[in-house]
Structure 1
Amino acid sequence: MKRLHLFEFEDFPWFPAVIRDSATDYLRFMIEKLRFYDSAVPYIKKVLQKTGLSSVLDLCSGGGGGMLDVYNELNKQSAQNITITLSDKYPNIPAFEEINRITNGGIKYINTSVDALDVPANIKGVRTMFSAFHHFTPEQAELILKNAVDNNAPVAFFDGAGNKFIIALSIALVHPFIFFFATPFIKPFRFSRLFFTYIIPLIPVTTIWDGIASAFRFYSEPEIRSLVKNFPAYTWETGITKGKLTVRMRYIIGHKK
């Protein structure tokens, strides 16, 4: 099925930070509990080894979901010390600070806005992106790749894959219950999170809608290949990897030939 670029609330600059941050906190909670990104580690490791780099710049980090597991696994499997820097157009600073504290500075963060379409050339490292590539139109996605290629920055992007209707339906049916039962256990604790979940349910409603919209935004393999073919100076590899609980991710890795 051809992708549909439905709107997502979190993409709008006017969307309240208290709701956006709570949404990314929820996604981080789910990603960490299910260890969504474990199967991405070998691909990132492969790019690090191919390029000789030891640093990762994560774009569109949201609440930093899964990056603690990625960081620990990369350092467990690598001979050299690997650092990760979190960034986002709308950085969730409290979440970033907590991850930085837990890792004793091993995972750093940029506290100002970083646009994935125009990443400053002075920020080095393998550029990763998790569960975010679908946020961008094909024209924007091409600009993201162009910016990386122009700056000789390797990329390792991971996003959703699978039957769009089944994914959207499962989000609509399952996540309302998860929100209801899991919200008190999501950190950092905020009274605003409780209020906008149980009293005025803006957090679950907007987050679930964004999840459904995301499912229909996922890029297919032919669509990905049509993007990367415009950059022949890079060696590209695309495909699908499986994580735990049959979580499937579409990956794009690329580096200079």
Structure 2
Amino acid sequence: MNIRLQLFELEDQKWFPHVIRQGMLDFLRFMISKLGAYKPALPLLQELLERTGRHHITDLCSGAGGGIEGIQQALSQRMGTTIYVTLTDLYPNLEAYRYLQQSSGGALDFIPQPIDATAVPESITGVRTIFSSFHHFPPSVAQAILQDAANKKSAIGIFEGASKKWYELLLLWLFFPAIIFVATPFIRPFKVSRIFFTYFFPLIPLGIIWDGTVSLLRIYTPQMLQHMTNKIDTPGYTWRTGKVGSRTGKHVIYLIGYPAE
């Protein structure tokens, strides 16, 4: 699928009801965690941490923190030391972040103030990551995010859990409605609103299917990401992009960048 369409996602709209948005993000977090969708990206994350000598990740555009707890645990196990993660977002999901902080024993924390990924304060350190969110941004904003990391000599990893193939749309349309109905009671923290807007007035499933479709059409291919980095002129900074993973549901498109050692 070598096209990209800048369509609109419901969760990006200011008028979209907060309770529906959070229900959608909670489902995304649950599925990414259960599927281990970003397991193929672990060696790339480990490389970024080892290249920079850090044990701390600053996650940008965290949403509801989709999959980050499992990533933190797997990285800590791989590297033999605790890797700490700070969650940030322009619109912080504080309820989800507090839940993750508690369940992780403090290995995950968060910044409650809004953080703009195009202008991250110098005081915020750590390897920057963006999971499942980079496609939300049009090329000019996406490039500004990369430029900010390069200008501040911060390593960054961009990861999208998809292969950008047409069959992924068919899987989304044919199987995800049933998966949503089966999985919803097991999502934590439990919310009555999530049950209501899934089974009685199914705005959450409809939103998930719509936004999932649009997300696949908006994701940047590795070639598009490479073209974007070619426009960033920062001496001593290296970019790599590609695709990892060999199983359905575990393909990851990535872009990593890091300053010279």
- TM bracket, shorter-chain basis: over 0.9
Contact 1:58 1:87 in 2 (8 A): yes
Question: Counterpart of 2:129 in 1: which secondary structure?
Answer: strand
Cα gap change, 1:74 to 1:160, in 2 (>3 Å):
closer
Residue 114 (1) aligns with residue 107 (2): no
Within-5 A mapping of 1:174-185:
174-185=175-186
> What is aligned with 2:143?
142
CA distance in 1 between counterparts of 2:81 and 2:156 reads 19
Deviation track 1:101-144 (CA, whole Å, cap 9, x = no partner) reads: 12211111112222222222211110001111111111111010
Residue 69 (1) aligns with residue 89 (2): no
Tell me how far 1:80 sits from its aligned partner.
Answer: 4.2
Cα gap change, 1:243 to 1:63, in 2 (>3 Å):
farther
Deviation track 1:10-41 (CA, whole Å, cap 9, x = no partner) reads: 11122222111111110011111111111211
CA RMSD in angstroms, aligned pairs only: 1.5
> What is aligned with 2:221?
220
Contact 2:164 2:221 in 1 (8 A): no
Cα gap change, 1:180 to 1:40, in 2 (>3 Å):
same
The match for 1:254 among 240, 252, 257 is 257
Tell me how far 1:243 sits from its aligned partner.
Answer: 6.2
Q: Which runs of 4+ in 1 moved over 3 A?
A: 243-246
The match for 1:241 among 231, 241, 244 is 244
CA distance in 1 between counterparts of 2:127 and 2:90 reads 18
Cα gap change, 1:157 to 1:163, in 2 (>3 Å):
closer
Contact 2:40 2:250 in 1 (8 A): no
Tell me how far 1:163 sits from its aligned partner.
Answer: 4.1
Q: TM-score, normalised by structure 1?
A: 0.95
> What is aligned with 2:154?
153
CA distance in 2 between counterparts of 1:4 and 1:251 reads 19
Contact 2:222 2:255 in 1 (8 A): no
Contact 1:156 1:252 in 2 (8 A): yes
Residue 129 (1) aligns with residue 130 (2): yes
Stretches of structure 2 lacking an aligned partner (at least 5 in a row): none
Tell me how far 1:168 sits from its aligned partner.
Answer: 1.8
More deviation, 110-119/21-30: 110-119
One-letter code of the match for 1:35?
Answer: G
Tell me how far 1:175 sits from its aligned partner.
Answer: 1.0
Question: Counterpart of 1:251 in 2: which secondary structure?
Answer: strand
Q: TM-score, normalised by structure 2?
A: 0.93
Residue 173 (1) aligns with residue 167 (2): no
Residue 210 (1) aligns with residue 215 (2): no
CA distance in 2 between counterparts of 1:11 and 1:110 reads 21
One-letter code of the match for 1:253?
Answer: I
- Paired residues, number: 257
> What is aligned with 1:190?
191
Question: Counterpart of 1:207 in 2: which secondary structure?
Answer: helix
Within-5 A mapping of 1:8-19:
8-19=9-20
